Amino acid sequence: MTPKQGTRVRMSREARRTQLIELGLEMLRTRPLEEISIEVVAEAAGVSRALLFHYFDSKQDFHVAVAGELGRQLLERTEPDPAADPIEALRGSMAAYLDYVCDHPEAYQALVRGAASTDPRMREVADGTRAVMTRRILDRAPALGVPTGPVTELTVAGWLAFVEETTLRWLRESTLDRADFERVITVSLPALAMVVVDPLASN
């Protein structure tokens, strides 16, 4: 589908836009988002700078589109298996989460940091991705006997921050092997749910 570098191919507006976003994602494998300029992407796509601005209003606009695609892919890969029991589904999702993170470390960092971006659209992408992940867990809480309510909601949101912070550190410091780290981010959720969310309290 992707034309060779420098080859001009007549494409629909939507297909061209998607191609440019995928190129941005591909570039994120080797460099941080800030370093992906319109010029560099235009050159790699074999299109003019002016054409790129036809699809994206600004470099920032392009970055938001790339981050949005990232969030979409991460959610797609970590979709819990509906046939598995909730703990098995969690284990599968966290394994897929780390697969994606290891495959796109720069992109993952850009997405997580986007939550604190000054650009509200970037925050929306990061917060929207988190909201879907949180919702998936809350939907499965009753099956585990965990009552839903404000304590559970805070705990799940806090756990996701735990996962993101430890993942960023793990990428940076690599002090644990993959299997041990996967265990940390997986068992932490039931650990918190068991102790923090007291089923006897009104929650």
Residues that bind its own copies (CB under 8 A): 113, 115-117, 150-151, 153-155, 157-166, 169-170, 173, 175-176, 180-181, 183-184, 187-188, 190-192, 194-196, 201
Cβ atoms 129, 74 nearer than 8 A: yes
CB of 159 to its own copies, least distance (A): 7
Residue 95 or 115: the one with the smaller Cβ distance to its own copies is: 115
CB of 176 to its own copies, least distance (A): 5
CB of 86 to its own copies, least distance (A): 17
Cβ atoms 63, 37 nearer than 8 A: no
Residue 42 or 70: the one with the smaller Cβ distance to its own copies is: 70
CB of 79 to its own copies, least distance (A): 23
Tokens linked to 1:
């589908």
Distance CA 136, CA 64 (A): 24
Residue 84 or 196: the one with the smaller Cβ distance to its own copies is: 196
Residues 6+ apart with CB under 8 A from 97: 74, 77, 78, 163, 185
Residue 95 or 184: the one with the smaller Cβ distance to its own copies is: 184
Distance CA 61, CA 95 (A): 31
CB of 149 to its own copies, least distance (A): 9
Tokens linked to 94:
């966290």
Let me know if 90 is exposed, middle or buried by CB neighbors in 10 A (0-12, 13-18, 19+). buried
